[in-house]
Structure 1
């Protein structure tokens, strides 16, 4: 058995927790929004999409806030809610899927960085050349060394980077808003020739994965709740971070419709925010945004790597993951979990060389993998309101309100699974399935039975879906 050395938990303020939430959500996705929305919808669909996504993600944010208050003993991150509500195997899959989604997201960040640099250094291409992968790998291991030196130092860097990367985004919003043309905005209103409810619904559906992707990280304060000086800071940081980021994302999208036709937005080179700004101020606009992309994406990579080390470390301490992941170094950094995360990012980076559109692929895979942990957390919050656990008779009005919030969060999470489509759900199953081996190792270490009957059924269904995905890919029936 691995000895567990006591570590000194370094507490952080509510402001730092808010910075972690904002830093986690404001990554590369915001710089792709003009093109992503231009390809999918017009102004009407964009407004509806942000209302739907904003409402759904706000409900998830309120879920994490209420869980932080009602179950302060559960301070190990997102997975612990799935474990408490639905058992060890659900908790494990929540942890593993959340970790795997973050790995895919980190690869997206690195590919996006290389794509942006490719504007200045053509040999980097679209981030998928051998030189780009080698350079990205070097940066990945550099971050590994930084984080290994201690969470506090890395968190301070994250707060500085969060402030620095917001400057170009806010500058973009102001400049483009000043150049806004009502006629162009009106021409982009419907997003197509067909003006029907069905057409708008399909347009909104097409935006759902990208809107969810840019909001990933809303649970950042929950993951780091054990570092909070005050428990109530967790919920406050979640909501404050969400509201701030929603305003930024919606503004970036809508002002873009006021300066370029939808067809031009759809055909813009990534980062498309640079193309929009360039159309207003000239070539320096693209360069300015590119610098912002590099700062933002690398800051997001740092934030997510911090979170991902915790995502493996805390379940290992709770005997859901194998014990070797509890190992810490002299700086009290969960070094085994960090090394596993870095190695996984490195492996996924190699896949970039063989995937057709690595940027889009990693964005959508990241989102699909994250949906199950979100759904399980929302379902647990709903379960608490139904069973009345943690509620007293005096809490009845609050219980009814939180039941409604949790129900909306569950419905939204299910709708997101529908929007992801069968392709990415099958790909997610292929990623989830091998993780079960880690779960079996953890159960064996404890001398416990692997599955109860319900868990065994869930495992069989997962394996069937994974095998089906492998068959479809190998027969070219599923294009990746």
Structure 2
């Protein structure tokens, strides 16, 4: 679709990729990885996963550069290669998965707010009302315009990046290398062989990069088609560095066995052990900011999937309708109802 007045630049596209990748999972990495791996296998799992996802990001870049006419998301690649039926299943399946992912974000955000409002942790009617309210808040934000929502997401992504930078700074200044250098590979910790630790860690590290395709999904709104591939690579590299630093430095903050028993968000309890109670409060606020940004990114994505698929005539045409702000309101409304 080439009629959009307001296009997304490289920064906006990168923020969508970064925002959709970095959600709430980064704050749970210390416990998740410590429960299955020592620091050495953990680092190797990030390197292996990172190499694989880098090839995927580069594939997106090559496709965007070589075939700028295919600007309607990864499902158009499927349609181009295998026909309408496969394209439809790709679009439908991705749409359903993304919508259900937003429901998971609602639960995570509920639990993050639950630190300040414990009644939300009962997961009763309060959680249903809380999640429903935020689903429709996101609806109104995105229906006011994709570009406006992208600007909000970019601001939140910057705040998210700065908050994570502070976390990394605290971990660096409190690093105790003796906690992991004595058993770098976990051979004496009864957590399996090195191969087992790498395999178990990769179940976590691979999942962490869901959202790498964000810029491809909104490619039709890109100011320059070449920015789509660049945004995928930049967003991936920023995310990989953050994941690697957070998970690795945490091993130097607390003993692995102790870290493996922490509650979510585990990085909050790591900081609490290092700097006191304000550490967990800070992380609770950071998680809220991160999840809000991630939810905006995924709301943009979940509205674009059926909308662009409808323009390709592989989903019902009414889903392609846009309001005066050039937001796919019918697709967005159906997605919100689904959630």
For 1:264-413, what aligned pairs fall within 5 Å after superposition?
264-345=258-339
Cα distance change, pair 303–279 in 1 and its aligned pair in 2 (3 A): same
Cα distance change, pair 188–89 in 1 and its aligned pair in 2 (3 A): farther
Partners of 2:208 and 2:260 lie apart in 1 by 18
Partners of 1:271 and 1:171 lie apart in 2 by 16
3-state SS in 1 of match to 2:208: helix
For 1:433-444, what aligned pairs fall within 5 Å after superposition?
none
- Report how far residue 343 of structure 1 moved: 1.6
Deviations 1:123-167 (A, max 9, x none): 1117x3321221121111111111111111111111111111112
Structure 1, unaligned stretches of length 5 or more? 346-480
The corresponding residue for 2:19 is 23
For 1:199-214, what aligned pairs fall within 5 Å after superposition?
199-214=193-208
3-state SS in 2 of match to 1:125: helix
The corresponding residue for 2:220 is 226
Cα distance change, pair 289–56 in 1 and its aligned pair in 2 (3 A): same
For 1:234-245, what aligned pairs fall within 5 Å after superposition?
234-245=228-239
Cα distance change, pair 337–123 in 1 and its aligned pair in 2 (3 A): same
The corresponding residue for 1:137 is 132
Alignment partner of 1:32 is 2:28:
yes
Find the partner of 2:44 among 48, 66, 70. Answer: 48
Partners of 1:79 and 1:190 lie apart in 2 by 41
TM-score norm. by structure 2 comes to 0.94
Alignment partner of 1:105 is 2:70:
no
Partners of 1:143 and 1:46 lie apart in 2 by 36
Deviations 1:96-129 (A, max 9, x none): 2222222232122221111122222221117x33
Structure 2, unaligned stretches of length 5 or more? none
- Report how far residue 6 of structure 1 moved: 9.8
Q: 2:46–2:202: 8 Å Cα contact kept in structure 1?
A: no
Higher relative contact order (CA closer than 8 Å, sequence separation 6+): 2
- Report how far residue 192 of structure 1 moved: 5.8
Larger Rg: 1
- Report how far residue 7 of structure 1 moved: 5.6
Find the partner of 1:84 among 65, 75, 80. Answer: 80
Alignment partner of 1:150 is 2:120:
no
Cα distance change, pair 152–110 in 1 and its aligned pair in 2 (3 A): same
Deviations 1:187-214 (A, max 9, x none): 5633464789x72222222233332332
Deviations 1:387-408 (A, max 9, x none): xxxxxxxxxxxxxxxxxxxxxx
Partners of 1:344 and 1:204 lie apart in 2 by 37
3-state SS in 1 of match to 2:62: helix
Partners of 2:151 and 2:267 lie apart in 1 by 28
